[in-house]
Structure 1
Amino acid sequence: MNIRTAFLGAAAAALLTTPAIGQVVRPKVTLAQAVATAESQLGARAYDAEFDMDLGDMVYEVRLVKDGKPVEALVDATTGRLVRQSRPLKAHLPIVGDHLKAAQTAPRTLSQTIAMVEEATKGKVAEIGLERRGGRHYYEVELVGAEDRDVLVDVRTGAITPLIGD
Protein backbone atom coordinates (compact mmCIF):
# COMPACT_ATOMS: atom_id res chain seq x y z
CA MET A 1 0.00 0.00 0.00
CA ASN A 2 1.30 3.45 -0.74
CA ILE A 3 2.15 6.08 1.87
CA ARG A 4 -1.06 8.08 1.30
CA THR A 5 -3.19 4.97 1.79
CA ALA A 6 -1.26 3.99 4.92
CA PHE A 7 -1.65 7.50 6.35
CA LEU A 8 -5.38 7.61 5.61
CA GLY A 9 -5.82 4.15 7.12
CA ALA A 10 -3.99 5.19 10.30
CA ALA A 11 -6.03 8.41 10.52
CA ALA A 12 -9.29 6.48 10.04
CA ALA A 13 -8.26 3.97 12.70
CA ALA A 14 -7.48 6.81 15.11
CA LEU A 15 -10.87 8.40 14.44
CA LEU A 16 -12.63 5.10 15.00
CA THR A 17 -11.05 4.59 18.41
CA THR A 18 -11.21 8.17 19.67
CA PRO A 19 -14.05 8.62 22.14
CA ALA A 20 -16.58 11.21 21.03
CA ILE A 21 -18.31 12.61 24.09
CA GLY A 22 -17.69 9.47 26.09
CA GLN A 23 -18.35 6.85 23.44
CA VAL A 24 -16.30 5.02 20.84
CA VAL A 25 -17.29 5.78 17.26
CA ARG A 26 -17.37 2.68 15.05
CA PRO A 27 -19.10 1.81 11.82
CA LYS A 28 -22.17 -0.39 12.25
CA VAL A 29 -21.77 -1.79 8.75
CA THR A 30 -18.81 -3.96 7.77
CA LEU A 31 -16.68 -3.40 4.71
CA ALA A 32 -18.02 -6.66 3.29
CA GLN A 33 -21.62 -5.47 3.72
CA ALA A 34 -20.83 -2.11 2.10
CA VAL A 35 -19.19 -3.79 -0.90
CA ALA A 36 -22.13 -6.20 -1.30
CA THR A 37 -24.56 -3.24 -1.20
CA ALA A 38 -22.64 -1.29 -3.83
CA GLU A 39 -22.27 -4.34 -6.09
CA SER A 40 -25.94 -5.32 -5.91
CA GLN A 41 -27.47 -1.83 -6.14
CA LEU A 42 -25.26 -0.71 -9.02
CA GLY A 43 -25.11 -4.04 -10.84
CA ALA A 44 -21.33 -3.67 -10.95
CA ARG A 45 -18.17 -5.51 -9.81
CA ALA A 46 -16.11 -3.89 -7.04
CA TYR A 47 -12.32 -3.95 -7.11
CA ASP A 48 -11.30 -1.58 -4.32
CA ALA A 49 -12.86 -0.58 -0.99
CA GLU A 50 -11.83 1.38 2.08
CA PHE A 51 -13.22 3.28 5.04
CA ASP A 52 -13.20 7.08 4.72
CA MET A 53 -14.64 10.21 6.28
CA ASP A 54 -16.80 12.36 3.98
CA LEU A 55 -17.62 15.77 5.42
CA GLY A 56 -17.64 14.27 8.91
CA ASP A 57 -19.71 11.22 7.96
CA MET A 58 -18.31 7.69 8.14
CA VAL A 59 -18.49 6.07 4.70
CA TYR A 60 -16.98 3.28 2.71
CA GLU A 61 -15.56 4.34 -0.63
CA VAL A 62 -16.06 1.53 -3.12
CA ARG A 63 -14.60 1.53 -6.64
CA LEU A 64 -16.44 -0.64 -9.15
CA VAL A 65 -16.57 -1.43 -12.85
CA LYS A 66 -19.79 -1.56 -14.85
CA ASP A 67 -19.87 -2.20 -18.58
CA GLY A 68 -16.11 -1.65 -18.71
CA LYS A 69 -16.31 1.80 -17.09
CA PRO A 70 -15.24 2.83 -13.59
CA VAL A 71 -17.83 3.88 -11.02
CA GLU A 72 -17.28 5.14 -7.47
CA ALA A 73 -19.80 4.66 -4.71
CA LEU A 74 -20.07 5.90 -1.14
CA VAL A 75 -21.89 3.65 1.30
CA ASP A 76 -22.89 5.07 4.70
CA ALA A 77 -20.95 3.12 7.36
CA THR A 78 -23.73 3.61 9.89
CA THR A 79 -26.85 2.77 7.87
CA GLY A 80 -25.43 0.71 4.99
CA ARG A 81 -27.27 2.89 2.45
CA LEU A 82 -25.73 3.88 -0.88
CA VAL A 83 -25.38 7.65 -0.50
CA ARG A 84 -23.61 8.62 -3.70
CA GLN A 85 -22.31 7.24 -6.96
CA SER A 86 -20.25 8.91 -9.64
CA ARG A 87 -18.12 8.22 -12.64
CA PRO A 88 -14.53 9.25 -11.91
CA LEU A 89 -12.60 11.41 -14.34
CA LYS A 90 -11.41 9.42 -17.31
CA ALA A 91 -7.86 8.31 -16.84
CA HIS A 92 -5.92 7.24 -19.88
CA LEU A 93 -3.54 5.04 -17.95
CA PRO A 94 -3.22 1.49 -19.31
CA ILE A 95 -3.21 0.03 -15.79
CA VAL A 96 -6.69 1.43 -15.06
CA GLY A 97 -8.23 -0.36 -18.04
CA ASP A 98 -6.30 -3.51 -17.12
CA HIS A 99 -7.63 -3.37 -13.54
CA LEU A 100 -11.19 -2.85 -14.75
CA LYS A 101 -10.99 -5.85 -17.07
CA ALA A 102 -9.47 -8.04 -14.33
CA ALA A 103 -12.19 -7.02 -11.87
CA GLN A 104 -15.01 -7.56 -14.34
CA THR A 105 -13.80 -11.02 -15.35
CA ALA A 106 -12.72 -12.25 -11.90
CA PRO A 107 -14.27 -15.60 -10.90
CA ARG A 108 -15.40 -14.13 -7.53
CA THR A 109 -16.98 -10.82 -6.63
CA LEU A 110 -15.08 -8.62 -4.20
CA SER A 111 -17.66 -9.34 -1.49
CA GLN A 112 -17.11 -13.09 -2.02
CA THR A 113 -13.34 -12.56 -1.84
CA ILE A 114 -13.68 -10.60 1.41
CA ALA A 115 -15.80 -13.39 2.94
CA MET A 116 -13.26 -16.00 1.84
CA VAL A 117 -10.32 -14.05 3.32
CA GLU A 118 -12.13 -13.38 6.60
CA GLU A 119 -13.01 -17.06 6.95
CA ALA A 120 -9.46 -18.21 6.17
CA THR A 121 -7.65 -15.68 8.37
CA LYS A 122 -10.25 -15.23 11.18
CA GLY A 123 -9.64 -11.47 10.80
CA LYS A 124 -11.73 -8.62 9.40
CA VAL A 125 -10.86 -6.91 6.12
CA ALA A 126 -10.20 -3.23 6.76
CA GLU A 127 -9.14 -2.32 3.23
CA ILE A 128 -8.80 -4.13 -0.08
CA GLY A 129 -7.50 -3.03 -3.46
CA LEU A 130 -6.52 -4.50 -6.80
CA GLU A 131 -2.84 -4.55 -7.79
CA ARG A 132 -0.75 -6.06 -10.52
CA ARG A 133 2.48 -7.83 -9.57
CA GLY A 134 4.63 -9.96 -11.83
CA GLY A 135 2.04 -9.99 -14.60
CA ARG A 136 -0.78 -11.22 -12.32
CA HIS A 137 -3.61 -9.44 -10.54
CA TYR A 138 -3.90 -9.65 -6.77
CA TYR A 139 -6.04 -8.05 -4.11
CA GLU A 140 -3.85 -6.49 -1.46
CA VAL A 141 -5.78 -6.88 1.77
CA GLU A 142 -5.25 -5.12 5.09
CA LEU A 143 -6.64 -7.14 7.98
CA VAL A 144 -7.56 -6.37 11.58
CA GLY A 145 -7.52 -9.09 14.23
CA ALA A 146 -5.60 -11.66 12.17
CA GLU A 147 -2.15 -13.14 12.68
CA ASP A 148 -1.02 -11.78 9.30
CA ARG A 149 -1.93 -8.11 9.02
CA ASP A 150 -1.54 -7.87 5.23
CA VAL A 151 -2.14 -10.58 2.63
CA LEU A 152 -2.27 -10.91 -1.15
CA VAL A 153 -5.11 -12.81 -2.78
CA ASP A 154 -4.66 -14.07 -6.34
CA VAL A 155 -7.68 -12.80 -8.28
CA ARG A 156 -7.90 -15.93 -10.45
CA THR A 157 -7.07 -18.74 -8.01
CA GLY A 158 -8.04 -17.24 -4.64
CA ALA A 159 -4.68 -18.28 -3.16
CA ILE A 160 -3.91 -16.23 -0.03
CA THR A 161 -0.28 -15.28 0.65
CA PRO A 162 0.90 -13.34 3.74
CA LEU A 163 2.83 -10.16 3.02
CA ILE A 164 5.97 -9.97 5.12
CA GLY A 165 7.46 -6.58 5.97
CA ASP A 166 5.06 -4.56 3.82
Structure 2
Amino acid sequence: MNIRNMLLTAGAVAVLAVPAAAQVVRPKISLAQAVATAESELGARAYDAEFDMDLGDMVYEIELVKNGKPVQVRVDANSGRLVHQSRAIKARLPIVGENLKAAQIAPRTLSQTIAMVEDATKGKVAEIGLERRGGRHYYEVELVGAQDRDVLVDVRTGAITPLIGD
Protein backbone atom coordinates (compact mmCIF):
# COMPACT_ATOMS: atom_id res chain seq x y z
CA MET A 1 0.00 0.00 0.00
CA ASN A 2 1.50 3.32 -0.99
CA ILE A 3 1.54 6.42 1.20
CA ARG A 4 -1.32 8.07 -0.71
CA ASN A 5 -3.69 5.14 -0.11
CA MET A 6 -2.70 4.98 3.56
CA LEU A 7 -3.50 8.68 4.02
CA LEU A 8 -6.84 8.32 2.24
CA THR A 9 -7.75 5.33 4.40
CA ALA A 10 -6.71 7.13 7.59
CA GLY A 11 -8.77 10.18 6.57
CA ALA A 12 -11.85 8.06 5.91
CA VAL A 13 -11.50 6.33 9.29
CA ALA A 14 -11.12 9.71 11.03
CA VAL A 15 -14.32 11.02 9.41
CA LEU A 16 -16.26 7.91 10.38
CA ALA A 17 -14.93 8.12 13.94
CA VAL A 18 -16.44 11.57 14.59
CA PRO A 19 -18.89 11.15 17.47
CA ALA A 20 -22.57 11.72 16.73
CA ALA A 21 -22.71 14.53 19.30
CA ALA A 22 -20.15 16.51 17.29
CA GLN A 23 -22.24 16.35 14.13
CA VAL A 24 -24.63 19.26 13.69
CA VAL A 25 -28.16 18.07 13.06
CA ARG A 26 -30.74 20.63 12.02
CA PRO A 27 -34.52 20.34 11.95
CA LYS A 28 -36.11 20.05 8.52
CA ILE A 29 -39.03 22.34 9.40
CA SER A 30 -38.90 25.76 11.01
CA LEU A 31 -40.42 26.88 14.29
CA ALA A 32 -42.91 28.99 12.31
CA GLN A 33 -44.01 25.93 10.31
CA ALA A 34 -44.41 23.84 13.47
CA VAL A 35 -46.49 26.56 15.15
CA ALA A 36 -48.68 26.98 12.06
CA THR A 37 -49.27 23.20 11.98
CA ALA A 38 -50.24 23.07 15.65
CA GLU A 39 -52.53 26.09 15.35
CA SER A 40 -54.35 24.78 12.28
CA GLU A 41 -54.67 21.14 13.40
CA LEU A 42 -56.02 22.06 16.83
CA GLY A 43 -57.94 25.20 15.89
CA ALA A 44 -56.09 26.91 18.73
CA ARG A 45 -53.82 29.93 19.30
CA ALA A 46 -50.18 29.34 20.24
CA TYR A 47 -48.48 31.59 22.77
CA ASP A 48 -45.18 29.82 23.52
CA ALA A 49 -42.85 27.71 21.37
CA GLU A 50 -39.33 26.34 21.53
CA PHE A 51 -37.07 23.66 20.07
CA ASP A 52 -36.16 20.71 22.31
CA MET A 53 -34.39 17.38 22.14
CA ASP A 54 -36.83 14.82 23.57
CA LEU A 55 -35.01 11.54 24.28
CA GLY A 56 -32.87 12.07 21.20
CA ASP A 57 -35.76 13.18 18.98
CA MET A 58 -35.93 16.76 17.72
CA VAL A 59 -39.29 18.32 18.59
CA TYR A 60 -40.90 21.70 18.97
CA GLU A 61 -42.77 22.13 22.24
CA ILE A 62 -45.71 24.44 21.69
CA GLU A 63 -48.22 25.80 24.22
CA LEU A 64 -51.61 26.84 22.88
CA VAL A 65 -54.96 28.00 24.17
CA LYS A 66 -58.23 26.53 22.92
CA ASN A 67 -61.61 27.57 24.32
CA GLY A 68 -59.82 29.29 27.22
CA LYS A 69 -57.91 26.16 28.22
CA PRO A 70 -54.15 25.54 27.81
CA VAL A 71 -52.92 22.69 25.63
CA GLN A 72 -49.35 21.51 25.11
CA VAL A 73 -48.17 19.73 21.97
CA ARG A 74 -44.98 18.41 20.48
CA VAL A 75 -44.34 18.64 16.76
CA ASP A 76 -41.67 16.46 15.17
CA ALA A 77 -38.98 18.83 13.84
CA ASN A 78 -38.26 16.59 10.84
CA SER A 79 -41.69 15.45 9.69
CA GLY A 80 -43.78 18.39 10.92
CA ARG A 81 -46.37 16.01 12.40
CA LEU A 82 -47.99 16.35 15.81
CA VAL A 83 -46.49 13.59 17.94
CA HIS A 84 -47.95 14.36 21.37
CA GLN A 85 -50.76 16.39 22.84
CA SER A 86 -51.70 16.97 26.47
CA ARG A 87 -53.69 19.37 28.58
CA ALA A 88 -51.48 21.64 30.65
CA ILE A 89 -51.72 21.45 34.42
CA LYS A 90 -54.44 23.76 35.68
CA ALA A 91 -52.85 26.67 37.46
CA ARG A 92 -55.01 28.99 39.48
CA LEU A 93 -52.72 31.97 39.12
CA PRO A 94 -54.48 35.07 37.71
CA ILE A 95 -51.54 35.86 35.40
CA VAL A 96 -51.94 32.52 33.61
CA GLY A 97 -55.57 33.27 32.80
CA GLU A 98 -54.60 36.75 31.58
CA ASN A 99 -51.90 35.30 29.31
CA LEU A 100 -54.34 32.79 27.85
CA LYS A 101 -56.90 35.50 27.18
CA ALA A 102 -54.26 37.79 25.63
CA ALA A 103 -53.16 34.96 23.33
CA GLN A 104 -56.74 34.23 22.23
CA ILE A 105 -57.58 37.83 21.36
CA ALA A 106 -54.20 38.84 19.88
CA PRO A 107 -54.58 40.45 16.44
CA ARG A 108 -51.96 38.08 14.96
CA THR A 109 -51.39 34.37 15.43
CA LEU A 110 -48.03 33.30 16.83
CA SER A 111 -47.00 31.94 13.41
CA GLN A 112 -47.81 35.36 11.87
CA THR A 113 -45.82 37.09 14.62
CA ILE A 114 -42.83 34.79 14.01
CA ALA A 115 -42.93 35.54 10.27
CA MET A 116 -43.17 39.28 10.97
CA VAL A 117 -40.18 39.21 13.36
CA GLU A 118 -38.04 37.09 11.02
CA ASP A 119 -38.81 39.42 8.13
CA ALA A 120 -38.02 42.56 10.15
CA THR A 121 -34.82 41.27 11.80
CA LYS A 122 -33.51 38.94 9.05
CA GLY A 123 -32.92 36.38 11.83
CA LYS A 124 -34.62 33.10 12.76
CA VAL A 125 -36.81 32.78 15.83
CA ALA A 126 -35.36 30.11 18.14
CA GLU A 127 -37.78 30.59 21.02
CA ILE A 128 -40.82 32.76 21.69
CA GLY A 129 -43.01 33.13 24.76
CA LEU A 130 -45.78 35.36 26.05
CA GLU A 131 -45.17 37.47 29.13
CA ARG A 132 -46.56 40.51 30.86
CA ARG A 133 -44.48 43.62 31.56
CA GLY A 134 -45.76 46.92 32.89
CA GLY A 135 -49.40 45.96 32.40
CA ARG A 136 -48.94 44.96 28.72
CA HIS A 137 -48.44 41.62 27.01
CA TYR A 138 -45.33 40.99 24.94
CA TYR A 139 -43.73 38.08 23.18
CA GLU A 140 -40.14 37.69 24.32
CA VAL A 141 -38.26 36.39 21.31
CA GLU A 142 -34.84 34.78 21.11
CA LEU A 143 -33.28 35.13 17.65
CA VAL A 144 -30.44 33.42 15.83
CA GLY A 145 -28.54 35.22 13.07
CA ALA A 146 -29.90 38.70 13.80
CA GLN A 147 -28.14 41.83 15.02
CA ASP A 148 -30.31 41.92 18.14
CA ARG A 149 -30.38 38.49 19.77
CA ASP A 150 -33.44 39.12 21.97
CA VAL A 151 -36.44 41.32 21.20
CA LEU A 152 -39.85 42.10 22.65
CA VAL A 153 -42.91 42.21 20.42
CA ASP A 154 -45.98 44.07 21.65
CA VAL A 155 -48.88 41.63 21.27
CA ARG A 156 -51.39 44.36 20.35
CA THR A 157 -49.33 46.64 18.12
CA GLY A 158 -46.63 44.34 16.76
CA ALA A 159 -43.93 46.88 17.68
CA ILE A 160 -40.51 45.20 17.93
CA THR A 161 -38.09 46.46 20.59
CA PRO A 162 -34.54 45.13 21.12
CA LEU A 163 -33.80 43.83 24.62
CA ILE A 164 -30.56 45.25 25.94
CA GLY A 165 -28.64 43.28 28.57
CA ASP A 166 -31.42 40.77 29.24
- The answer as to 2:130 corresponding to 1:119 is no
Return the letter of the residue paired with 1:135. G
CA shift for structure 1 position 23 = 3.8
Show CA shifts across 1:103-143 (max 9, x none). 00000000000000000000000000001000000000000
Q: Report the counterpart of residue 64 of structure 2 in structure 1.
A: 64
Return the letter of the residue paired with 1:33. Q
Show CA shifts across 1:62-83 (max 9, x none). 0000000000010001111010
Return the letter of the residue paired with 2:66. K
Q: Report the counterpart of residue 132 of structure 2 in structure 1.
A: 132
SS at match of 1:102: helix
Return the letter of the residue paired with 1:110. L
CA shift for structure 1 position 88 = 1.1
- How far apart, in 2, do the equivalents of 1:56 and 1:93 lie? 33
CA RMSD, 1 decimal: 1.4
- Mind listing any 5+ residue stretches in structure 2 that lack a counterpart? 1-17
Return the letter of the residue paired with 1:133. R
Give the TM-score taking structure 2 as reference length: 0.87
Q: What does 1:73-88 correspond to in 2, within 5 Å? A: 73-88=73-88
- How far apart, in 2, do the equivalents of 1:39 and 1:139 lie? 17
Q: Report the counterpart of residue 34 of structure 1 in structure 2.
A: 34
- Mind listing any 5+ residue stretches in structure 1 that lack a counterpart? 1-17
- How far apart, in 1, do the equivalents of 2:98 and 2:20 lie? 42
Aligned-residue sequence identity (percent) comes to: 85
Give the TM-score taking structure 1 as reference length: 0.87
The structure-2 alpha-carbon separation of the partners of 1:22 and 1:55, relative to structure 1 and needing over 3 Å to count, comes to: closer
- How far apart, in 2, do the equivalents of 1:160 and 1:22 lie? 35
- How far apart, in 2, do the equivalents of 1:56 and 1:100 lie? 31
The structure-2 alpha-carbon separation of the partners of 1:150 and 1:19, relative to structure 1 and needing over 3 Å to count, comes to: farther
- How far apart, in 1, do the equivalents of 2:162 and 2:76 lie? 30
Return the letter of the residue paired with 2:159. A
Give the count of matched residue pairs: 149
CA shift for structure 1 position 26 = 1.0
CA shift for structure 1 position 54 = 1.3
- How far apart, in 1, do the equivalents of 2:88 and 2:160 lie? 30
User: Would the aligned equivalents of 1:19 and 1:25 in 2 still touch at CA under 8 Å?
Assistant: no
User: Would the aligned equivalents of 1:49 and 1:129 in 2 still touch at CA under 8 Å?
Assistant: yes
SS at match of 2:28: coil
- How far apart, in 2, do the equivalents of 1:21 and 1:69 lie? 38
